[in-house]
């Protein structure tokens, strides 16, 4: 017997709803259903996904809450302009990272990183304790000791999450968590598997740039910490652009 979830839906219906939300949301972000156009009617969606009308309605409610859809009685359901989408929703972020050419998304992602993370580094330089310094040193060591590109990417992610956490600012922490969630999805898709680093010189440079952030934080100098973080993010963006250009050739 399947369990009953919140709202009276069975566990199976909840799973089906999540599947429809994921497929339909991904299709909207990919442009298969362009902005301001109508999506298929409920009976067509039922047939398309092989689910009940209840599942379709629940899925549409979820996508409406995420800002992707708007529904009007006797008119139907249409796709909202991209400017209405909740870009801080984890699913919406993930759907963007799954696109073949998410160029605008990546540019906007690094732009928000440039706004948030340097400010966080400056805050940490003011507030960090000796214990925090040791934790940051350990994060840099983990980055330096990574043996695959995948492990390196995850260690890099953990370092930036740590800086945001140590900022002590709950708004920065919450905003940063969402940005980092997008980065995690992106890093996993970009690195793929356990590709060896082969002592790549660029990776050594990345580690040294991160150590510069830590050095500025330990010195208690906010502006150098901010600038060091700007340098790291700019380098990461340039490397990602080069990597994606190489893959497209």
Point out the least confidently predicted range of 6-15, 104-113, 150-159: 6-15
Q: What is the pLDDT of residues 109-143, one digit of tens each?
A: 899 999 999 999 999 999 999 999 999 999 999 99
> Which range, of 2-11, 105-114, 175-184, averages the lowest pLDDT?
2-11
| pLDDT beyond 80 at 11 | no
pLDDT at 3 exceeding the cut of 50: no
Range 94-103 average pLDDT: 84
Domains of the chain, earliest start first: 6-82 (1.10.10.10), 90-248 (1.20.120.530)
Flag whether the pTM goes above 0.85.
no
Is residue 217's pLDDT more than 70? yes
Task: Give the C-alpha separation, 191 to 197, whole Å.
Answer: 11
Report the alpha-carbon distance of residue 119 to residue 222 in Å, rounded.
Answer: 9
* pLDDT, position 190: 60
Please report the pLDDT score of residue 196 as a whole number: 53
SS (H, E, C) 108-144: HHHHHHHHHHHHHHHHHHHHCCHHHHHHHHHHHHHHH
* Percentage of residues in the chain having pLDDT higher than 70: 86
Q: Residue 7: its pLDDT value, please?
A: 45
Which range, of 17-21, 126-130, 186-190, 214-218, averages the lowest pLDDT?
Answer: 186-190
């Amino acid at each position: 017997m399947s369990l009953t979830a919140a709202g009276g839906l069975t566990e199976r219906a909840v799973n089906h709803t999540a599947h429809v939300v994921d497929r339909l949301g991904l299709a909207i972000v990919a442009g298969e259903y362009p902005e301001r156009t109508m999506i298929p009617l409920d009976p067509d969606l039922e047939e398309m996904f092989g689910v009940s009308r209840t599942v379709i309605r629940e899925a549409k409610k979820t996508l409406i809450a995420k800002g992707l859809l708007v529904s009007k009685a006797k008119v139907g359901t249409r796709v909202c302009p991209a400017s209405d989408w909740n870009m801080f929703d984890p699913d919406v972020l993930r759907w963007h990272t799954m696109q073949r050419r998410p160029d605008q998304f990546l540019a906007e992602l690094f732009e928000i990183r440039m706004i948030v993370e340097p400010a966080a580094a400056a805050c940490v330089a003011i507030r960090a304790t000796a214990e925090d310094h040791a934790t940051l040193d350990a994060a840099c060591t983990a980055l330096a000791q990574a043996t695959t590109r995948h492990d390196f990417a995850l260690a890099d992610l953990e370092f930036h999450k740590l800086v945001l956490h140590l900022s002590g600012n709950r708004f920065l922490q919450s905003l940063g968590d969402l940005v980092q969630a997008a980065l995690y999805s992106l890093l996993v898709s970009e690195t793929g598997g356990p590709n060896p680093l082969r002592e790549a010189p660029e990776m050594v440079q990345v580690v040294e740039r991160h150590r510069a952030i830590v050095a500025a934080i330990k010195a208690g100098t906010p502006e150098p910490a901010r600038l060091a973080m700007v340098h790291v993010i700019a380098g990461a963006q340039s490397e990602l652009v080069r990597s994606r250009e190489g893959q497209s050739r």
